């Protein structure tokens, strides 16, 4: 290995250790670097560069560095990452996360209108609503761009209906929210002079069924099985167990669990406080014994050493908070698969289903609707009334005691 390349890999190795990357991962990188070094010696290359990395990768796997994906062989993906960390360090002196977040910037062709609209959403709506609206605007504007329509003044009824057809496969509730977002956007364009026609009148009405659907929930036996299948000897398992308890015991939304901070816990008062991301409501709950024990176990024996102030962090280096768009679905889905749950035709399997379960349990125990609404942080008891749709027979199986 030539001195220049050895210095580069040595510096990256030191940074990887500083970032607390797993020893097996670092060892794997070194194996690929050794192969790359041999290639450089055979080709008479004295300095590592992107061109060098591209040549080696193409000659080895027959694909370019820009091509690897989940469909490519695992070995090529690992080699790709080993080369990428070298290039990142050369360019910036640091190493970026393996999975970069999606670019949510909008095309300049739709500026400044879309930028001003999203700013107004940020100012007037909750973060979760902002994310849902951004997702739908990305979908709609992507559709317009593919059709070569980047001038809002040329929007017409046919274009709007054509887009609606592309969303006909989604459930009726989603279609209802799609229509709401489009009307809101078209109304903004009209009132701010970006269009001379109020296109919101062309958005078809969709009769939603939100108030009529039965909430998804899991019985006490199912939840006990779910928790029993969490490997609490594993650091990530300790984290997952605590996350599930917050959802089961307090009915917290996934975003509020994900964003919990170390400073939110008052150990002296045995309580914790947070502000709901959806409603902005300040909430304070007692720190129940089993939840406190799970947190202590996680802090002492599971949580990686990190400067991140979020309670729950990723367990792959660099150790940091979960992304704002991360719904942690893979965590509960993992344990549902291990538990052998298969009945997902009429109920959902996200963390939010655990919120439904605690609401149904409280209702079965005769807790007044205003109290349930207060616990869940609903702004109105009308929202909580959806839980009256759960059948009485089902409610009898909904006790959520956790050993």
Q: Which of 278, 315, 334, 347 is catalytic?
A: 278
Measured CA to CA, the distance from residue 364 to residue 360 in angstroms comes to 6
Active site residue 191: no
Residue 230 structure tokens: 């969490």
Q: How far is CA 26 from CA 20, 31, 53, 85, 261, in A?
A: 10, 9, 18, 11, 30
352 is catalytic: yes
Is residue 253 annotated as part of the catalytic site, yes or no? yes
Tell how far CA 321 is from the center of its chain: 11
* Residue 355 annotated among the catalytic residues of the structure: yes
DSSP 30-52: HHHHHHHHHHHHHHT--S--HHH
Contact 335, 351 (CB under 8 A): no
**DSSP 8-state symbol, 167:** T
Rg, C-alpha atoms of the chain: 26
Contacts of 57 (CB under 8 A, 6+ apart): 63, 64, 65, 76, 79, 80, 83
The CA-atom distances, in angstroms, between 255 and each of 32, 53, 92, 251, 275 are 39, 40, 32, 12, 11
Q: Which of 134, 164, 249, 253 is catalytic?
A: 253
CA 169 from chain centre, in angstroms, equals 23
**Alpha helix segments (H runs only) across 317-368:** 329-338, 352-364
Which residue among the candidates 184, 355, 389, 396 is catalytic per the annotation?
355
Count the neighbouring beta carbons within 10 Å of the beta carbon of residue 376: 23
Alpha helices in 171-288 (DSSP H): 172-191, 220-228, 235-250, 254-258
User: Is there a catalytic annotation at residue 345?
Assistant: no
Within 10 angstroms of residue 20's Cβ, the number of other Cβ atoms is: 14
Exposure string of 93-127, with b = 16+ CB inside 10 Å and e = fewer, is eebeeeeeeeeeebeeebeebbeebbeebeeeebe
Does residue 241 have a cis peptide bond before it, meaning omega lies within 30 degrees of 0? no
Active site residues: 253, 278, 352, 355, 378, 387
């Amino acid at each position: 290995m030539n001195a220049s390349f050895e210095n580069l890999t040595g510096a990256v190795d030191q940074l990887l250790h500083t970032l607390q990357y797993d020893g097996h991962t670092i060892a794997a990188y070194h194996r690929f670097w050794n192969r790359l070094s041999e290639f450089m010696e055979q080709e008479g290359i004295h300095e590592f560069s992107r061109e060098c990395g591209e040549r080696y990768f193409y000659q080895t796997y027959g694909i370019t560095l820009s091509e690897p994906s989940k469909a490519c062989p695992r070995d090529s993906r690992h080699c790709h990452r080993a080369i990428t960390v070298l290039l990142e360090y050369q360019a910036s002196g640091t190493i970026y996360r393996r999975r970069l977040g999606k670019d949510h910037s909008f095309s300049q062709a739709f500026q400044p209108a879309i930028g001003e609209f999203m700013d107004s959403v940020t100012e007037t709506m909750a973060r979760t609503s902002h994310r849902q609206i951004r997702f739908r605007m990305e979908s709609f504007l992507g559709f317009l761009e593919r059709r070569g329509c980047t001038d809002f003044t040329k929007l017409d009824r046919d274009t709007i209906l054509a887009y609606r057809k592309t969303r006909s496969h989604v459930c009726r509730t989603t279609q209802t929210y799609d229509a709401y977002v489009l009307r809101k956007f078209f109304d903004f364009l009209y009132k701010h002079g970006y269009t001379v026609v109020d296109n919101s009148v062309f958005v078809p009405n969709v009769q939603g069924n939100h108030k009529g659907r039965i909430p998804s929930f899991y019985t006490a036996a199912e939840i006990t099985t779910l928790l029993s299948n969490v490997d609490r000897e594993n650091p990530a398992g300790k984290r997952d167990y605590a996350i599930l308890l917050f959802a089961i015991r307090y009915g917290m939304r996934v975003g509020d669990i994900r964003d919990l901070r170390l400073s939110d816990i008052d150990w002296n008062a045995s309580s914790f406080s947070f502000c709901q991301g959806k409603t902005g409501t300040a909430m304070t709950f007692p720190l129940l014994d089993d939840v406190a024990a799970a947190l202590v176990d996680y802090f002492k024996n599971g949580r990686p050493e990190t400067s991140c102030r979020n309670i729950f962090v990723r367990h792959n280096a660099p150790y940091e908070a979960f992304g704002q768009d991360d719904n942690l679905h893979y965590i509960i889905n993992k344990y549902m698969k291990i538990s052998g749950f298969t009945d997902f035709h009429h109920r959902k399997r996200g963390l939010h289903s655990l919120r439904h379960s605690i609401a149904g349990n409280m209702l079965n125990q005769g807790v007044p609707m205003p109290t349930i609404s207060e616990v869940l942080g609903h702004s109105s008891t009308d929202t909580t009334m959806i839980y009256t749709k759960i059948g009485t027979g089902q409610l009898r199986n909904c006790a959520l005691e956790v050993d």
